[in-house]
Amino acid sequence: MAAPLLTVENLRVSFPTHTGRVEVVKGLSFTLGRERLGIVGESGSGKSMTGRSILKLIRKPGEVTADMLEFDGVDILSQSEKQMRAIRGARISMVMQDPKFSLNPVMTVGEQIAEALVTHQKLPRRDVQARIIEMLHAVRINDPERVAKLYPHEVSGGMGQRIMIAMMLIPEPELLIADEPTSALDVSVQAQVLDIIDELVRNKGMGLILISHDLNLVSRYCDRILVMNGGRVVEECAAGQLENAQHPYTRGLLAAMPVINETRDELPVLDRTQWAGT
Amino acid sequence: MAIDQQSATPEPAPGAASRRIVRGFSTGGGFVLTLFLTFLGLLAITFFIGRVIPIDPVLAVVGDRATQEQYDVAKIAMGLDQPLWMQFISYVGNVFTGDLGMSVSTGRPVIEDLSRFFPATFEMATLGILIGCAIGIPLGVTAAARQGSWLDQAIRVVGLLGYSVPAFWLGLVGLALFYARLRWVGGPGRLDIFYDGLVEPVTGMILIDSLLRGEIDIFWNAVSHIILPAAVLGFFSLAYIARMTRSFMLDQLSQEFVTTARVKGVPERVVIWRHAFNPIRVPLITVIGLSYAGLLEGSVMIETVFSWPGIGNYLTTALLNADMNAVLGATLVIGAVFIVINKISDVLYRVLDPRAR
Amino acid sequence: MSTRDWLLADSPTSRLQANVGRAYRVFTALMRNPLSVLGGAIILVLLLTAAFAPWIAPYSAVGQDLANRLMPPSAAHWMGTDELGRDIFSRVVWGSQITLTIVLLVALISAPLGLLIGAIAGYFGGWVDRILMGFTDIFLSLPKLILALAFVAALGPGINNAIIAIAITSWPAYARIARAETLTIRNAEYIQAVQLAGGGPIRLIVQHVLPLCTSSMIIRVTLDMAGVILTAAGLGFIGLGAQPPLPEWGAMISRGRTFILDQWWVATMPGFAIIIVSLGFCFLGDGLRDVLDPKSEGKN
């Protein structure tokens, strides 16, 4: 493999509380090429914080440290806020969970997408418009001219998330972080949205970090999987090798996955005592 | 005090409040109806204050040296021999035809007095709210953008001072300092004495009238007189507006779409003003409306201190002379303006927010 | 078990322990916020000053000394003397009793009144709710100070009437809060349980609904106290509140108005007392809100 796109070594994120600083990410390390990496974990396992610290979006009083946090040879932690702005959007982008909250309610869809583009490239107005229409097409929106004029509350959740993807991919970044991109959506449109992300990422040869609590979904769309628990990586394996996972937490998660045509007397429960203290 | 401080303090999200009200009148007719009902409530209260609380309203008018005959004539003239509900109906009828009774102290119809005094109050309160917005909004935005910094703390204390400083005291101290000691501003009144009466009133607002007549000297003299009382009023609306702006902004800055904007690489200044501030413009209008209405109220104190010939001064003079017609008339006018501004800012909310359209 | 452990126990064994424990937690949380500590200290000083005014004030509040009129602040008269030679510091100290009386009486009249009206409206709903809240809304949409002025004008000047007028104009806000709280708990299952057990409306409202409104009520009342002080001082300033020679702070400022240009201290000093006490209530109210109502944390 060529030089990795992203190298993370011993990443730690902590927040102050009444009882002292609490680490939510405790020494995370991984590397990423132009591939699709899945990060799986339950709520509070630190997976979202990992995504945000790559974009240096953790604001005070939160604190991020790492032995190494390098994106394409750039040391993220030493970048100034201004330098970071040149990276955010243009080179690393992020799709967030719920389009209901992640789209600005008082700007039209078109304005918001345009903003993502013109922040990084100075283009004549007509070209901007053409790029927006083209991008909306790419996320399978049929009548982009109309949709661009709508406000976010006027579109459905699935459409909102596709708009979000269009907005995040229009400056053609090299790495996309998708933070629970489908958890807020109806089951019926989840696959569609992920297919779109998948297709665009592959076509443009981008790196993808898919953050989710859904092991099944991640194993379907990713090449490699990190399983996180309590701020640490407990398992790292290729998507195909998931059945061979060793760690009791991963095994527990796998056991909890429902299988069609099966009847269970009792639903399995994670027995956390097995890895407590790791 | 200056602003309606008690109800202003922890105002629930104006969004929620106005949405509640908006649901009440989804049609223009419904709006007029609520306005009418509120106004009727105001009339009921002033009627109650004027006719029911005083043990003998007739005595209050004719004085205790009147003969029994004069007393009876006055009683019938005031319609007090009628049952209470009849009195109320004729009171409402009178008010709607513009008859607020005669003022005992000026000897003129109250409505005439009020229309003469109103422009001065309007001029001062408007300048006050402009000052309040021009300073309060940026302060609130800055405080929210730097939450927890010393600047935020300082702005917070300024905000709380707005709830703790008596307006009349601030006015007095201002006069002592900027007028008596430093000579930076003009003293009490709207103009220096030798300019008084030189400008024929057109709008009744001297700043505008003097410009219309091309009297630049008078204009600047009027500015030097109005700036201090307007600034004192402005301070109170500033405190309230800054506090509310900060709270709205904090709400917005914690929203996901602000993170989205940062992810896009948008400069922080744009994040704050375009993404966080734009959505709060509409609720801010409600806040500014409330604050403006509060200033009309606050001007009562300020006008007393600055001998400003406005409605507040008229009201306090009437209060001290027990001139009830004038008191109730002024209360009615201030109350009505208060209600109308409140309701209008509620409606604006609905018209301006794309989500509510 | 140490006292602290007993106070902070996760599963208190008695109602007393639960209540005391909660009070302790609120107290420690308040102590962490410097501004609310300051606010609490100011209120404490106010209480002590009012209680021990005869011992604290170096001079009488009303004793005149025309030889020493309008003296600037000095070692003998910390805040100077007024136009009748009365010591302003002593008058400010005595005035704290008046301020405290006004504040307490207004709170004692308007808070229970608003609480009761709001709880009844929320509990019964329907037309009772509509009439009571319609009334409340009309009061809320009117300017408070002006209403208070008009009431005092009709009732006649004086401190008692000022208190009544302020109380009359401040209950509606409490009614709104109490109604909102009542609505959220009206359909709770434990309320239905009490109903099933035969609890009538009076018992329900008094024993189960009202206690739940207290914390939001305490916050609101504390925050409102600053406004009450200012309104009372305003009435005193206009000459409709406390009458001379009572050392009410607003009335003192009014007397000092005549001398503001040359003897600034006469009007200025009582103003500082008003500001400090009002700020104290604001700080404490702000802190209480952060502690008791975490939902609104960081707001306002």
CA distance B318 to B101: 13
* B316-355 pLDDT per residue, tens: 888 888 788 888 888 888 888 888 887 787 777 777 776 6
Q: Which of A103, A5, A118 lies closest to A54 in space, CA to CA?
A: A5
Residue A278 is predicted with a pLDDT of: 46
Contact B87, B80 (CB under 8 A): yes
| Bridge partners (DSSP) listed for residue A94 | A177
Residue B17 is predicted with a pLDDT of: 40
Residue C300 is predicted with a pLDDT of: 34
Contact A26, A231 (CB under 8 A): yes
> Which is more confident, C14 or A109?
A109
Q: Least CB-CB distance to B265: which of A60, A102, A120? A: A120
Contact B145, B249 (CB under 8 A): yes
CA distance A139 to A159: 9
Question: In the predicted model, what is the mean pLDDT of residues B184-212?
Answer: 83
Mean pLDDT of chain A: 86
Task: Flag the least confident range among A110-124, A198-212, C15-29.
Answer: C15-29
* A241-270 pLDDT per residue, tens: 777 777 778 877 777 777 777 777 777 777
Q: Where does the pLDDT of residue B55 fall: very low under 50, low under 70, confident under 90, or very high at 90 and above?
A: low
DSSP string, B155-189: HHHHHHHHHHS-HHHHHHHHIIIIIIIS--S--SS
Residues of A in contact with B254 (CB under 8 A): none
Tokens representing B120? 């001065």
Q: From B159, which residue of chain C is nearest by alpha-carbon distance?
A: C300
Query: What phi and psi, each to the nearest 5 degrees, are found at residue B190?
Result: -90, -25
Residues of C in contact with B54 (CB under 8 A): 154
Mean pLDDT of chain C: 85
**What share of chain B in percent tops pLDDT 90?**
27
Q: Is the pLDDT of residue A136 over 90?
A: yes
Whole-number Cα distances in Å, A147 to A132, A154, C192: 11, 9, 49
* Residue B169 Cα to chain centre, angstroms: 19
Contact A41, A68 (CB under 8 A): no
* Angle B236-B238-B240 from CA coordinates, rounded to 5°: 75
For residue A277, give the amino acid letter: G
pTM of the model: 0.82
How many residue pairs bridge chain B and chain C with CB atoms within 8 Å of each other?
A: 186
Q: Is the pLDDT of residue C271 over 90?
A: yes
C contact chains, 3+ CB pairs < 8 A: B
Q: Which of A115, A116, A110 lies closest to A132 in space, CA to CA?
A: A110
* A30-63 pLDDT per residue, tens: 999 888 999 988 877 888 888 899 999 888 788 8
What DSSP state is assigned to residue A88?
B
Residues of A in contact with B355 (CB under 8 A): 105-106, 151, 153
* A186-206 pLDDT per residue, tens: 888 888 889 999 999 889 889
Residue C41 is predicted with a pLDDT of: 94
Q: Least CB-CB distance to B169: which of C141, C253, C285? A: C253
Q: Is the pLDDT of residue B8 over 70?
A: no
N- to C-terminal Cα separation, chain C: 40
Q: Which of C77, C235, C256, C226 lies closest to B173 in space, CA to CA?
A: C256
Question: In the predicted model, what is the mean pLDDT of residues B24-50?
Answer: 76
CA distance A243 to A250: 9
- Is B335 within 8 Å of C142 when comparing Cβ atoms? yes
| Bridge partners (DSSP) listed for residue A15 | A22
> Which is more confident, A60 or C151?
C151
CB atoms within 10 A of CB B138: 12
- Is B41 within 8 Å of C220 when comparing Cβ atoms? no
Tokens representing C88? 């302003």
Residue C12 is predicted with a pLDDT of: 78
Q: Where does the pLDDT of residue B29 fall: very low under 50, low under 70, confident under 90, or very high at 90 and above?
A: low
Structure-derived torsion over alpha carbons of residues B129, B130, B134, B135, reported in degrees to the nearest 10:
-40
Query: What phi and psi, each to the nearest 5 degrees, are found at residue C75?
Result: -65, -35
Residues of B in contact with A84 (CB under 8 A): 265
- Is B265 within 8 Å of A119 when comparing Cβ atoms? yes
Contact C89, C265 (CB under 8 A): no
> Which is more confident, A18 or B113?
B113
Tokens representing A70? 């390098």
Nearest Cα of chain B lies from the Cα of C275 at a distance, in angstroms, of 5
Residues of B in contact with A101 (CB under 8 A): 255-257
CA distance C140 to C145: 12
Question: In the predicted model, what is the mean pLDDT of residues C139-146?
Answer: 80
Contact B283, B137 (CB under 8 A): no
- Is B256 within 8 Å of A116 when comparing Cβ atoms? no
Q: Is the pLDDT of residue A275 over 50?
A: yes
3-state secondary structure of A150: coil
Residue B356 is predicted with a pLDDT of: 61
Residue C126 is predicted with a pLDDT of: 85
Q: Is the pLDDT of residue B186 over 50?
A: yes
Q: Least CB-CB distance to B166: which of C234, C239, C240? A: C234
CA distance B303 to C238: 11
3-state secondary structure B54-114: CCCHHHHHHCCCCCHHHHHHHHHHCCCCCCHHHHHHHHHHHHHCCCCCECCCCCCEHHHHH
DSSP string, A73-121: TEEGGG--HHHHHHHBTTTEEEE-S-HHHHS-TTS-HHHHHHHHHHTT-
Mean pLDDT of chain B: 82
* Angle C143-C149-C150 from CA coordinates, rounded to 5°: 90
Q: Which of A148, A4, A153, A158 lies closest to A74 in space, CA to CA?
A: A4
Tell me if chain C has a CB within 8 Å of the CB of B208: no
Q: Is the pLDDT of residue A1 over 80?
A: no
Q: Which of B167, B177, B341 lies closest to B237 in space, CA to CA?
A: B167
For residue A132, give the amino acid letter: I
Q: Which of A52, A98, A94 lies closest to A190 in space, CA to CA?
A: A98
Residues of B in contact with C259 (CB under 8 A): none
For residue C40, give the amino acid letter: G
Residue B14 is predicted with a pLDDT of: 40
Contact B180, C261 (CB under 8 A): yes
Q: Provide the edge-to-edge strand list for the sheet that holds A232-238.
A: A92-95, A175-179, A207-212, A36-40, A224-229, A232-238
Tell me if chain A has a CB within 8 Å of the CB of B275: yes
Q: Is the pLDDT of residue B23 over 70?
A: no
CA B287, B293, B295, B298 torsion: positive or negative?
Answer: negative
Q: Which of C223, C227, C243, C212 lies closest to C290 in space, CA to CA?
A: C223
Tokens representing B148? 């927890």
Q: Which of B253, B198, B226, B271 lies closest to B125 in space, CA to CA?
A: B226
Residue A135 is predicted with a pLDDT of: 92
* Residue A113 Cα to chain centre, angstroms: 19
* Angle C291-C293-C294 from CA coordinates, rounded to 5°: 75
Which residue, chain included where needed, has tokens 């935005």?
B141
* Beta strands at A207-212 and A36-40: parallel, antiparallel or unpaired: parallel
Residue B18 is predicted with a pLDDT of: 42
CA distance C264 to C269: 9
CA distance B231 to B184: 13
For residue A212, give the amino acid letter: S
Q: Which of B341, B340, B337 lies closest to B286 in space, CA to CA?
A: B341
> Which is more confident, C164 or C4?
C164
Q: What is the CA radius of gyration of chain A?
A: 19
CA distance B221 to A106: 44
Residue B10 is predicted with a pLDDT of: 37
Question: In the predicted model, what is the mean pLDDT of residues C206-230?
Answer: 86
CA distance B228 to B306: 9
Residue B355 is predicted with a pLDDT of: 67
Query: What phi and psi, each to the nearest 5 degrees, are found at residue C248?
Result: -80, 140
The answer to whether the bond into C294 is cis (omega within 30° of 0) is no
Residue B74 is predicted with a pLDDT of: 77
